[in-house]
Each structure stands twice: as C-alpha cells, then as structure tokens.
Amino acid sequence: MSSDSDLTARARIRDAAIALFTERGIAGATIRDIAQAAGVSSGLLRHHFGSKEGLRDACDEFALARITQLQMAFTESQALGGALAPDAMALQQYLVRSLMDGSPRGQAMFAAAVQGGERWLAGTKLETDDPRAFVAVLGAMKLGMFLMRDQLTAALGEDVGELPGYVRMIRASLEIFSQPLLTPEQAEQGMKALDRLRDSSTGEKGPWRMPSMPED
Amino acid sequence: MSSDSDLTARARIRDAAIALFTERGIAGATIRDIAQAAGVSSGLLRHHFGSKEGLRDACDEFALARITQLQMAFTESQALGGALAPDAMALQQYLVRSLMDGSPRGQAMFAAAVQGGERWLAGTKLETDDPRAFVAVLGAMKLGMFLMRDQLTAALGEDVGELPGYVRMIRASLEIFSQPLLTPEQAEQGMKALDRLRDSSTGEKGPWRMPSMPED
DNA sequence: TGGTTCGCTACACGATCGTGTAGTACGCTA
DNA sequence: TAGCGTACTACACGATCGTGTAGCGAACCA
C-alpha cells in the first residue's frame, strides 16, 4: 500500500482494488471503478490480472505476503494479540474482508493461525477444556476488531486506522486481555447455563442469554 | 426465522433474504435468487418491499426486533458476553454482516450498545483508562465471533450455528473472558511499545507487532 | 352481483456487469 | 531497420442486474 502515484500501473491497480474491495466487498466493487480509481482503463486491469477473480487472488497474495513481511521485521516479544502498525491495518482489514467473502487463501491463513495458536496456547498457563475452540474463538474476536473499523472509528471519534485512534484501540485490547472480565461466579454461572442448554438437546431449544452486556 | 413452509410469502421472502444476504453479502445476493429461494416471483418481492434497499431495511428491522424479543424473554443474569441461543445466531450473523455493509440501523445499534456498555462497565471493577474504547473494542470482538461463523465451523469441525458447536464456542468465550490472557509483564511491555509508537508520531511509523499469537 | 383491493405472475426496459477483441505506441533485440 | 513482445486503450458482446408495467384470480364489501 504505497501512496505515490509514480508506481507501476499494476501496483496502482492492486492498491485501488484492495481499497475498494475493503470498502464495498468483493461483489460490491466493480472492475470499472477499480480501474478508474487507479487511473487506467479496465482493459489494462484485465491484461494484468486476467479476471476479477485473478485480481482478487493477487490482492490476497500481496496482502498476505506484505503482512508476513512486516511481521518478520519486528519480532519483539511473543504473547497474544497479533496486531500490526496502522500501516498494516488496511491490509489486515482487506484480508479479513476477503476471508469473509470466501477467499481460499484467507481460509488457509485462518486454519494455519489456529494451528499455530494451539502451539502458543500449549506454552502458556491458560486454562481451557477445548484448546482448539479457545484459540479459534480468540482469533475470530481479534479479527472482529479489524472488520469493525468503521464502527470503532465512529465510536471513538477518530480513525482507528490512523495512529492516535489505533493506539487507543490496541491499548483497549491490551486492557481487555490483561484482566478477567468475568468473576469466577459469573463464569461458573455461564458454564452451568451452557450445560443446561446442551442437555436440553433435541428438546425445545429455548433462547438463552449469556451473562452479558445488557443490550447486545 | 421460521422453518415452516406454510408461512406468509412475505415472511418467506424475508427469511430467504436474510439467509442469502448473510451468505453472499448485500451486494452479492440478487433479488431474483432471493425470490427463487422463497419460491415466489421477483415481482412479488418488489410488491411487498418496494426495492432491494427496502427489503434489506425490513430484514434489519425484523432481525433487530426479533433478537431484542428473544433477549427480553430471558434476563437470567447480567455480566458480559451478549450471546444468544443458536436460534438467534443466524440473526446476529445477518445483522453484523448488514452492519458491515453499511446498514444505518446496524450502526445505530452498535452505537447504542457502546453507550449501554459504558454504563455496564461503570458498575464493574474493571480497570481502564478509556472506557469508551474498552467497550467498543470489546463489542467489536464479540461481533467477530458471529462474522467468523464459517471459519469457526471449519476449525471446530462442526457448525457453530447448531447446538453442540454453539456450546463449544460460547464455552470458549467464557474461558477467554474469565482469565487474564496476558501476564502483567506482557501487558506492560505492550503498553510501553504503544507509547513508543505514539511518541514517534509524525515521524516514521515503522511496523510494530503487538505481543501476540506468533502467526496472525 | 358488481367493483375494488390485494396477492401474485409474466415480461420488458435501460443500466451495468465481467469479459472478449482489435488495435496503437513504445522499447527491445537481431 | 525489421520484427516482436509488452503496456495500454477503445469498444462491442452477451448476461444479469434492479426496476417498471400490465394483467390475472380470489377475497371482500357495497
């Protein structure tokens, strides 16, 4: 994601595609709009990427490689989180959006992240009966932070893709993950409610509400 | 979301729309496919809802009202989480997807949830320097669980929209929220890294990696 | 019993989609 | 200088999109 206009046309197309795919979804962004945003003809887009699917795949590959590269450059410490600098926020957001729209590369990435997460989990003292579910759900939650960029931006009053807002967001996630949000009583109460729900299987599945923020 | 086929045509259209909007996104689902899935003509869809945007808005309204109704029916305990029974999972998933695609109702819902979350937070002993960011990020994370339904289903090997998988998912979220995932040292280290990042503002913003699962 | 409304279908309309084709300008190598 | 591959544009193609219109049959009320 370079800002200059003296880039290869191919790179400009790719950047514009990532931006529009992120903003409108894969189906919502058109070849013509992407080409126009990149300042080229739609034919050139086709010349370089073959098809819309080819363009999307190239974007996936680029985003994945670039994020990996940014990660490689900085391996300060290891624990939990997986967020990158604001520069990579847009790439992350695109990748997760593409994942939601059925990207094969994205699915493979998520699966690999879950596998790696299980290894990470094994090295910690965290308690869980279901390591796979633990890391998968945790991963899904973290990705939610990127998918909800627009909503977080609205709630915080500043773009979480820019430095100040980004710092607030990551700081909040650190606070969230560094303390138990549920008391042991609340957790146990929730577990019991889950057991009740599970044991009523094949029976009537009445709605059930997890101990929770009152309104969502 | 009723399963019967002896529903009003209007209700069948709405249910089919929610299913297809969820699966393919708003732009990806077509009027004709929705009508076909509901077993009616596309003209009838237009007759009842006026336009695609009207249909989407009706779906938003319905999903929001139904979820609220399901919540009203069960107010067992209050704490944090906000998940509903599997029955409502599809509605939640639709609503969040619609939110991502720019639903005004969804945005209002998220804003209201943040406001309510701040009140909830004030009644707890949780520590935070930025209550708004805390609840907003927490909310985004929870929504991520619904958006990543397909990925969680793949990772767990069973549909998290059905009871067994759903229980595993919520149980994992309870485990995640009932213990600190970061040691105080890790948290402080992360905070310091954030400070460094913030203080280097307007300077070169080098990529930075939050203490994290190694690969995502 | 006649008229009006309502649920519903069939079909045609412009617009726009992704794609295909032809052709131009430019730089390379022989 | 001739030949050729590459970057790039212009334009037309079928398909499909959301939408508009006309009309049918049953229900309801006068």
Task: Please tell me the total count of domains within chain A.
Answer: 1
Chain-chain contact of A209 with B83 (C-beta, under 8 angstroms): yes
For residue A53, what are the β-bridge partners? Answer: none
Among the residue ranges A81-95, A162-176, A195-209, B192-206, the one predicted with the least confidence is: A195-209
Q: Which of B128, B4, B113 shows the shortest CA–CA distance to A152?
A: B113
Distance CA B16, CA B20 (A): 6
- On whether the CB atoms of residues A99 and A139 are closer than 8 A, the answer is no
The CATH number assigned to the domain holding B70 equals: 1.10.357.10
pLDDT at B60: 97
Task: Calculate the angstrom distance between C1' of D12 and CA of A32.
Answer: 16
**A157 three-class SS:** coil
pLDDT at A73: 61
Residue B148: closest CA among chain A residues belongs to which residue?
A140
- Residue A49 neighbours by CB under 8 Å, 6+ apart: A13, A55, A58
Residue A10 beta carbon within 7 A of nucleic strand D: yes
Residue A189: pLDDT band (50, 70, 90) is confident
Q: Does residue A174 have a pLDDT over 70?
A: yes
Residue A180 domain-assigned (yes or no): no
pLDDT at A6: 61
Residue B32 beta carbon within 7 A of nucleic strand D: yes
Convert the pLDDT of each residue in B152-174 to its tens digit.
Answer: 999 999 999 998 999 999 999 99
Q: Does residue A78 have a pLDDT over 90?
A: no
Residue B75: pLDDT band (50, 70, 90) is very low
Residue A84 beta carbon within 7 A of nucleic strand D: no
Distances (CA, A) of A154 to A46, A157, B4, B133, B148: 36, 5, 40, 11, 22
For residue B78, what are the β-bridge partners? Answer: A212
Q: Give the pLDDT mean for A8-21.
A: 96
Q: Does residue B84 have a pLDDT over 70?
A: no
Chain-chain contact of B176 with A99 (C-beta, under 8 angstroms): no
Chain B contact present for A72, CB below 8 A? no
Percent of chain A with pLDDT over 90: 72
- On whether the CB atoms of residues B189 and A77 are closer than 8 A, the answer is yes
Residue B99 domain-assigned (yes or no): yes
Residue B171 beta carbon within 7 A of nucleic strand D: no
Residue B154 domain-assigned (yes or no): no
Q: Give the pLDDT mean for B38-55.
A: 96
Residue A155 domain-assigned (yes or no): no
pLDDT at A53: 97
Distance CA A16, CA A10 (A): 10
pLDDT at B203: 41
- For B77, list phi and psi in degrees, rounded to 5: -150, 165
Q: Which domain holds residue B107?
A: 7-147
Convert the pLDDT of each residue in A25-77 to its tens digit.
Answer: 999 999 999 999 999 999 999 999 999 999 999 999 999 999 888 877 654 43
Q: Does residue A3 have a pLDDT over 50?
A: no
Convert the pLDDT of each residue in A99-149 to its tens digit.
Answer: 999 999 999 999 999 999 999 999 999 999 999 999 999 999 999 999 999
Q: Does residue B214 have a pLDDT over 70?
A: no
Q: What is the mean pLDDT of chain A?
A: 85
Residue A214 domain-assigned (yes or no): no
Task: Calculate the angstrom distance between C1' of C5 and CA of A118.
Answer: 64
Distance CA B56, CA B14 (A): 9
Task: Calculate the angstrom distance between C1' of C14 and CA of A11.
Answer: 35
pLDDT at A68: 86
Q: Which of B158, B133, B84, B21 shows the shortest CA–CA distance to A136?
A: B158
Q: Give the pLDDT mean for B164-193.
A: 93
Residue A1 domain-assigned (yes or no): no
Q: Which of A178, A189, A205 lies nearest to residue B85, judging by beta carbons?
A: A205
